[in-house]
Every structure is written in structure tokens, then in C-alpha cells.
């Protein structure tokens, strides 16, 4: 599956052209020519998505990666720890994210070409997968 690749840097999404990175803006939006776009905070070593992810993408607007929480979680009330939470019950939203290109284009136009993962996910219907299942 071919896809567009965008790199997150702060609130900007960057695309690569002739081995240089450029900030995505109104004038460069047409660079997103593929049906799907992968958004990440690092350049992936491999561009091979497992078939499971390809099938999920075809049936969803956005696929979000989740990671297991590795640090201790505490519930805090009035600056006091009131309970210790079981980290096996929680997941952390992470990159990469893969979305339909028309969806990310619409989002960027509506948000002045600035990207916030929270705002983006609030405007998306998405399904989550464990990070380890992204690449072969």
C-alpha cells in the first residue's frame, strides 16, 4: 500500500521533497496524492505495513497507535495520591497514525494548517491498535 508520509514537528506537519523537509501549507497540500496518509514523530525504518493494518484502514477514517503504559499511574486528588492504578488497564496514544488523506486535508484547512493530536482525534472516528502490530 502506498501512502503519504508526514512528520510531526511541534504543531507543523512536514513532508519530504528531494531529501529536504518542508512545512505543509495551503500551497503544498496537493503533495498529498495518495488515498492514505501516515503521520509520525519519526521517520520509519520500513514502509511495510502489515496486512492487518491495511484492512483496518480500509474500514476506518483513522487508525491510532496505542502503547502500553510503562510508568506507574496514580490518581491524585487535592495534591495527594489517593490510589495506585493498574497500568495494565491503560494505553497511551502514540504515533504512527494513519488516516484517510481527505480527512487530514479537511482537518488542516479548518485548523490553519496546525496539527494537534488531541484536536485531530476529537474530530476523527478512529480505531486503535497496539504499536507492535504496525510493522512486519
Residue 13: domain span: 4-133
pLDDT over 70 for what percent of the chain?
A: 88
* DSSP state, residue 19: T
d(CA 48, CA 30): 24
SS3 assignment, position 15: strand
> What b/e string do you get for 57-83 counting C-beta neighbours within 10 Å, with b at 16 or more?
beebebbbbeeeeeeeeeeeeeeeeee
Q: How many domains does the chain have?
A: 1
For 115, the 3-state DSSP assignment is: coil
Helix (H) or strand (E) holding 53: helix 51-58
pLDDT in tens, 3-61: 899 999 999 999 998 889 999 999 999 999 999 998 988 876 665 565 666 677 777 78
Amino acid at each position: 500500500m502506498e501512502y503519504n508520509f508526514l512528520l510531526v514537528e511541534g504543531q507543523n506537519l512536514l513532508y519530504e521533497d528531494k531529501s529536504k523537509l518542508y512545512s505543509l501549507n495551503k500551497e503544498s497540500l496537493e503533495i498529498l496524492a495518495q488515498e492514505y496518509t501516515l503521520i509520525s514523530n519519526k521517520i520509519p525504518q520500513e514502509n511495510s505495513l502489515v496486512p492487518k493494518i491495511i484492512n483496518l484502514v480500509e474500514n476506518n477514517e483513522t487508525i491510532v497507535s496505542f502503547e502500553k503504559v510503562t510508568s506507574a499511574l496514580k490518581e491524585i486528588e487535592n495534591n495527594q495520591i489517593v490510589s495506585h492504578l493498574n497500568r495494565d488497564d491503560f494505553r497511551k496514544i502514540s504515533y504512527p497514525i494513519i488516516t484517510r488523506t481527505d480527512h487530514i486535508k479537511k482537518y488542516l484547512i479548518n485548523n490553519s494548517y496546525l496539527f494537534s493530536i488531541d484536536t485531530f482525534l476529537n474530530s476523527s472516528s478512529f480505531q486503535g491498535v497496539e504499536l507492535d502490530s504496525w510493522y512486519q
